Structure formats: C-alpha cells, structure tokens
Amino acid sequence: MNLKDELTDNQLYTLKILKTPSAGRALARWLMGLSGLFFILLFLPWQQNIRGTGKVTAFTPGNRPQTVESAIPGRISSWNIREGQFVNKGDTIVTLSEIKDKFFDPNLLTRLSEQVEAKRSSIESKRLKAEALKTQIKALRSALDVKYKQAQNKLKQTELKLVSDSVDYEAEQIRFRNFESQYARNKTLFEAGNIALTKYQDIESKYQESKMKVVSSENKFLQTKAELINAQVNLAGVQAEYQDKISKSESELNATLASLYESEGDLSKTRNEFANMQIRNDQYQLIAPQSGYVVKAMQAGIGETIKEGEAVVTIMPENPDMAVEMYVKAMDVPLLSKGRKVRVEFDGWPALQVSGWPSVSVGTFGGEVQVIDFVNSRAGEFRILVTPDPEDEPWPSILRIGSGTKGWVMLDDVPIWYEIWRNLNGFPPSLYEEPLDLDSQKAKETVEKKTTK
C-alpha cells in the first residue's frame, strides 16, 4: 500500500513538473492579442506624404529681406539709424559726402544751370541768324529774278535797236552810192562845162552830207553792236553776281546751322549733366526703399569710404506675407500639384507629427502648395513655396524669416501594410489619378456637378 501510494505521488509530481505555468499562458495570450492587433492595424488607412525641409520666407519677392546699396561712391558723414530700429519708407539711413574731385564744387548745380542758359541763348541767337540768312537768300533770289529780267529786256531792246541801226546804215549806204554816182556824173558834166558851178557845188554838198551820214550811221550801228555785246555780258554777269552772293549766303547759312546743331548737342549734353547732378545730389542721402526693420549694418563708423553699389544695411519689410520655402526630392515632383495640402512644423515650436494621420498631429500648421519650380534649385531637389491654408489654424505671428521648417505634402490614403511594403522596396508614393493644379481641379469639379444635375 505504501509502495502504491509512493508510485502515485511520483506520477503526480511528474505531471506537476510538465504542466504549463500560468505566467507563460498569460504571455501567450498577450502575444496573440498583439499579433491580432498588429494584423488589424496593417489594414488601417495611412495618408501618403512627401517629406521636405526648408525655411520660412516671404511669398512676394518685395517682402523678403533686402540690402540697401549706395548708388554712388562716397564717405559716410552720419548715421541716422541703429540696428533693430523701425524705419518708414523715405527715411534717411546714411548721409554720404563726395569723394570725387569732379563734384567737389558746392555750386556745381548753379554753374551747370548757368551753362544751360548760356547755351540756350547762343542757340536762340544762331537760330535768329539762320532765319535772317534765309530771308537774305530769299531776297537775293527775288533780286536775281528782277535784275535778270531787266538785263533780258535791255538785251532785247539793244537787239531791236541794232536791227534798226543796221537798216539805217544800209539805207545811208544806198543813198550814199546814189549820191556818189550822181556826183560822178555831174562832175564829168561840170568839167565838160555842161552844168553850172552852183549846181555842181550843190550836188557835191549833198554827196559830202550823204558820206557823213553813212559814217554817222555806221558809228551808230557799231555802237549799238557794242551795246548788244555789253547787254549780253551784263545778262551773264547779273546771274553770276547774284549766284555768287546767294552761294556765299547759303554757305554762311550752312555754317550757322552746323554751329546751331552743335550747340544744341552741347546743350543736350549739359542738360544731361545737370539732370545727372540733380539725381546725384539726391543719392547723398541713402533712403529706406520701404518700411521695415534695420536688420544689420554692413558698414560702420564715420568717415568710412564705400564703393558704388556696395551694400550698407539690410532691411526686413514690416509685414511680409509668410511662406515656407521647402525642398523635395526630384522623384517626388511629378506627384505634386498646386493646391496640395501641407503640414508644416516650425523649428522651436513644440510639435508631435504623425505623418500618415495628420488629424492626430499636434503643433503643426496647415499650408498649401502655391509654387513648384520648373528647374532644380539644388542637386536632385526642387523648391516649392507653401502658403498658409486659409481653412486651417493661422501660422504663429512670432515666426521670423529664415527659421527652419519641416513639411509633409499630403497625398492619397493607402493601407499601412502597403506603405510598409513601399518603403521596404524604395518605391515612390502612388496616385490614383494624374495630379491637377487647384484651378484645374475646381474646373473639373464644376463640370462634374453640371453633369450630375
């Protein structure tokens, strides 16, 4: 009996040793529960996203920090601001003094103005002289016409007179020949004693008178012929004389006009110098181009010389329209489109971001993609500009330009198991349809609504 009891006790002891402890059973239950939970989680939705880093900037280029440069070289005479000070548009930042000896004269503008007036008066005088020469040339041309017509009339009268004198001369010659033959016959008769002396003397007297008339008419004819030659010479001389006067006046007119045009060029050059000097005088005061805060002074001290185009201070505009300048990988750019929602995390701002579940994120702010660069900004990266989402919480007012940021451009929902598989294989995020810009998307929705109606 004792042996039987001892064997039974030994068997029970073995069973007790081989029995699964309660702690192991609890661990197994926990592992099975966690495995089931993990399996269920694999089928939960996960919103794909594109990650990027960047910094805070201003959306409008005119609202970004800018340097104020000096348009002229000069020496700093006085500072009218300090770093961190707010300045209004048009406030004087720095006053400069001249360093080029060409502009040392304090009355340079007055002297240039006097030169302009002197050249303007000279131009007016030359213009009046040119007008007078034009009037003189016109008068000479009129006088040439009158004198030429007078000379032509004189020539014509002389030609007619020469014709008349030639006719008279020929008539006197005929008359003289008649008297000569008559005289010869009567002389023969007188010598023969056939006529009286008185008659012979009368005929001789008429013969001598006719001879005298022939000589007189010949002299008159030759004189008229000489007058004709003189009239012809006078006709040519009148044209040559007045043409010479006109040519001299035209030459003087051309010289006056050339001098006038040269003076007008000098006047334009002097007026240009005067205008440039007026502008240069304004450049001695370095003016704030817009209202904002003086961030940093690039120069220091009094009397320091600065070069043309050298930066003097940096100004941050007063109310910049905040945006985030974010860089994404080139492989992700085809998935982006204007209007895509973005979650932004700012450096120094406490945040907890679950990228796939933006609804449970804390400390991040909403944004929208507004600009996607057409060329890469960095090696293998493209820049996008993100502005605040008007439907989300406003961005912090204490943000500063240049603050670091992280961002997640939100895409479509996929199961968690697919996202894990995609990341393990290095595949890019996927889209169910081609990405559209915000404007194209709204137009598509409008068309769909009209079709439904």
Between 85 and 186, residue with greater pLDDT: 85
Q: Do residue 134 and residue 267 come from a single domain?
A: yes
Indicate if the alpha-carbon torsion angle 86, 91, 96, 97 is positive or negative: negative
Residue 372 belongs to some domain of the structure = yes
We report the CATH number of the domain holding residue 380 as 2.40.30.170
Residue 152 belongs to some domain of the structure = yes
Give how many domains the chain has, as a whole number. Answer: 4
Q: Do residue 224 and residue 310 come from a single domain?
A: no
Q: Do residue 215 and residue 81 come from a single domain?
A: no
Full domain range(s) for residue 165:
108-282
Name the 3-class secondary structure at 6: helix
- Supply the DSSP string of 382-446, one letter for each residue: EEEEEEE-TTSPPPPTT--TT-EEEEEEEEEEEEHHHHHHHHHHTPPP--SS----HHHHHHHHH
Between 129 and 2, residue with greater pLDDT: 129
Q: Do residue 71 and residue 57 come from a single domain?
A: no
Residue 330 belongs to some domain of the structure = yes
Q: Are 314 and 295 in contact (CB under 8 A)?
A: yes
Q: What percent of the chain has pLDDT over 70?
A: 81
Name the 3-class secondary structure at 313: strand
Residue 3 belongs to some domain of the structure = yes
pLDDT digits (tens, 9 = 90+) for 330-381: 888 888 889 888 999 898 887 666 655 665 566 789 899 999 999 888 888 9
pLDDT digits (tens, 9 = 90+) for 7-54: 555 555 555 555 556 666 677 778 887 877 777 766 667 667 788 999
Q: pLDDT band for 209, please (50, 70, 90 cuts).
A: confident
Give the pLDDT score at 445. Answer: 55
Opening angle at CA 158, ends 156 and 161, nearest 5: 110
Residue 212 belongs to some domain of the structure = yes
Give the pLDDT score at 432. Answer: 45
Domain boundary among 282, 304, 333: 282
Q: Do residue 10 and residue 83 come from a single domain?
A: no
Residue 340: name the closest of 394, 406, 411, 405 by CA: 411
Task: Answer whether residue 200 shows pLDDT above 90.
Answer: no
Between 69 and 214, residue with greater pLDDT: 69
Residue 34 belongs to some domain of the structure = yes
Give the pLDDT score at 357. Answer: 60
Q: Do residue 7 and residue 92 come from a single domain?
A: no
Q: What percent of the chain has pLDDT over 90?
A: 14
Give residue 315's identity as a one-letter amino acid code: I
We report the CATH number of the domain holding residue 169 as 1.10.287
Q: Which backbone phi and psi does 149 adopt, to 5 degrees?
A: -65, -40
CA dihedral 30, 32, 35, 37 (to 10 degrees): -70
Q: Do residue 223 and residue 132 come from a single domain?
A: yes
Q: Do residue 370 and residue 441 come from a single domain?
A: yes
Residue 8 belongs to some domain of the structure = yes
Q: Do residue 191 and residue 164 come from a single domain?
A: yes
Distance CA 225, CA 402 (A): 111
Q: Do residue 328 and residue 249 come from a single domain?
A: no
Give the pLDDT score at 405. Answer: 92
Q: Do residue 278 and residue 407 come from a single domain?
A: no
Residue with tokens 């805060």: 293
Residue 103 belongs to some domain of the structure = no
Span 167-185, average pLDDT: 78
pLDDT digits (tens, 9 = 90+) for 375-432: 888 888 999 999 999 988 899 888 889 999 999 888 776 666 766 776 677 666 655 4
pLDDT digits (tens, 9 = 90+) for 53-106: 999 999 998 889 999 998 888 888 999 989 889 999 989 999 988 888 777 777
Q: Do residue 134 and residue 164 come from a single domain?
A: yes
What is the pTM (predicted TM-score) of this model? 0.59
- Supply the DSSP string of 149-204, one letter for each residue: HHHHHHHHHHHHHHHHHHHHHHHHHHHHHHHHHHHHHHHHHHHTT-S-HHHHHHHH
